[in-house]
Amino acid sequence: MNGMNKMSRYCYRPGVGLLLVRFIIGAVLVQHGWEKAADMAKVFGLMAHLGWPAFIAYVIVAIELVGGLMLIFGVLPRPVAVVVAVEMIVALVAVAIPMRGWGGSDLELMLLFSSLGIAFAGAGSWSLMRVFEHDGSTAVLRSTSAAPTDPSVSATDAS
């Protein structure tokens, strides 16, 4: 049993888990934002088809490019994740489900719920938010990772 306890201590790394989730969400957003930025005419066409103003195309590209990078590096992850979740809800309701149905909406659903997970859990210990917290240069920025709930795991083991 001691070996299993030791293994669980090494495997209990919520900070690394949150980093991986943030990284994949951010990478997917940046990739999709880059594709949209490279073919803005297509995005403008979709906005026109939906009856939305053209500036929304720029908002979407900014959310995906800048927001994706912010999630990757762990800068203001909770508000960024909420913005991404709202974008995914709008994308699901306005585009994905009407055009592709539920079966073609898996990416938006994964991004929605992964973003909500980051919004609730925070950036974790492997983020620039943590660097700012330890730097002490600003009191507003705080760690968003929760302390481990398992009493057998110390706070240093959790990251």
CA distances from 97 to 8, 20, 31, 145 (A): 41, 28, 21, 34
pLDDT for res 85: 98
Give the model's confidence band at 61: pLDDT under 50 very low, under 70 low, under 90 confident, else very high.
very high
Does 140 have pLDDT greater than 60? no
CA separation for the pair 146, 126 (Å, rounded): 13
pTM assigned to the model? 0.78
CA separation for the pair 112, 84 (Å, rounded): 7
